[in-house]
Amino acid sequence: MAKRRATSGALLGSSDETGLRETRVTENIEIAAGVFLLKYPRERDFLPGQVVGITVDRRIAPRYYSISSGKDEEFVDLLYDVVPGGELTPLLAALRGGDLLFVSPPSGAFLDGDEEGWWIATGTGIAPFVSMAKSGLGGRKHLVHGSRLASGLYYRKYFAAVLKERYVSCCTKEAGDGIFSGRLTAWLGQQEDLPTSGRFLLCGSAEMVVDVRDLLIARGVPFGNISSEIYF
C-alpha cells in the first residue's frame, strides 16, 4: 500500500483564527454502533442547516458537524459517525459529560424556508433536517432518508410522528416494517409523481448527492432548485 497521509482539506484553520470557544460536553451518547449524539449548551444563535467546527484539543484541527437540534433549544446536538483511523472522531467518541470541547461559531449556507419541498439524506446527513424540522420548517416537507442498516435511520420515530406519510426510510441491507428495501435512489426512481417544482435539499455523501442530483435533473427538476451539502 502506498503511504497516504490522512488529512483532508476540510479542516478549519488554527484555533485562534476560527474563534473557537471552550465549552463543556453535556452528554455524548452512542445511539447506534459507532454513531454518537454529542450535546453541549447553546451559547450562540444559529440558523437551521448550519455547521460548527469542533475539536477536543487546540492542536487538532476542528472538523465540521451539522447542528441537529432546533434553533431555540437549550443545547446544541451534533450527530457523528466514528471514522475508523480518523484523527478526531475516535477522540470525540471518548468524551464524557463535563469534558472540555472547543467549538467554532456556526457557519454555512445550507438553509431552507418553510415552503413545500424535499429533504433527501443518507446516514448522519439527516442532521440538518432534524434541526430544520425542530425549528418549525418541516410542515410542508417530504423527507427521504437512506441507510444501510435500520439502526442508521436516526430520528425515525421523530420524523414518522412529525412528517407522517411524508417521511420515507430506505435500507439497503435490512428489511423492516415501513422501510423501503433498497437505495433511496431506487425509491425516488419509482415515484411517478415526483414534482419538478419546489426545492430539493440533499445532504450526505458525495456519491448520494451526485446520484440523486442526476436523477432529479433527468426527471426535469431545474438544477437551480437543488441545493446540496456534502460531508467531505
Ligand X SMILES: Cc1cc2nc3c(=O)[nH]c(=O)nc-3n(C[C@H](O)[C@H](O)[C@H](O)COP(=O)(O)OP(=O)(O)OC[C@H]3O[C@@H](n4cnc5c(N)ncnc54)[C@H](O)[C@@H]3O)c2cc1C
Binding-site ranges for ligand X (CB under 6 A):
6, 8, 10, 51, 63-66, 79-81, 83, 85-89, 124, 127, 229, 231-232
The piece of 37-45, 86-94, 146-154, 160-168 that touches another protein (CB under 8 A) is 146-154
Q: Give the integer Cα–Cα distance in Å for 99 and 93.
A: 12
Least Å from the CB of residue 224 to ligand X: 21
Give, in order, the Cα–Cα distances in Å from 173 to each of 124, 176, 183, 223: 17, 10, 9, 31
- Residue carrying the nine cell digits 456556526: 106
> Between vectors from CA 70 to CA 62 and to CA 150, what angle results, nearest 5°?
80
The contact mask relative to another protein for 17-46 (x = CB under 8 A, - = no) is ------------------------------
Tell me the closest approach of the beta carbon of residue 226 to another protein, in angstroms. 7
**Best CA proximity match to 197, nearest among 180, 219, 182, 167:** 219
In the complex, the smallest distance separating the C-beta of residue 193 from ligand X, rounded to whole angstroms, is 31
Q: How far is the CB of 74 from another protein (least distance, A)?
A: 26
Answer yes or no: are the C-beta atoms of 24 and 41 closer than 8 Å.
yes
209 binds another protein (CB under 8 A): yes
Residues 161-200 that bind another protein (CB under 8 A): 172-173, 183-184
Q: Give me the least distance between CB of 58 and another protein, in Å please.
A: 15
Of the candidate residues 67, 147, 159, 180, the single one contacting another protein (CB under 8 A):
147
d(CA 54, CA 48): 17
Q: What is the torsion angle, in degrees rounded to the nearest 10, for the CA atoms of residue 68, residue 72, residue 74 and residue 80?
A: 10
Residue 8 binds another protein (CB under 8 A)? yes
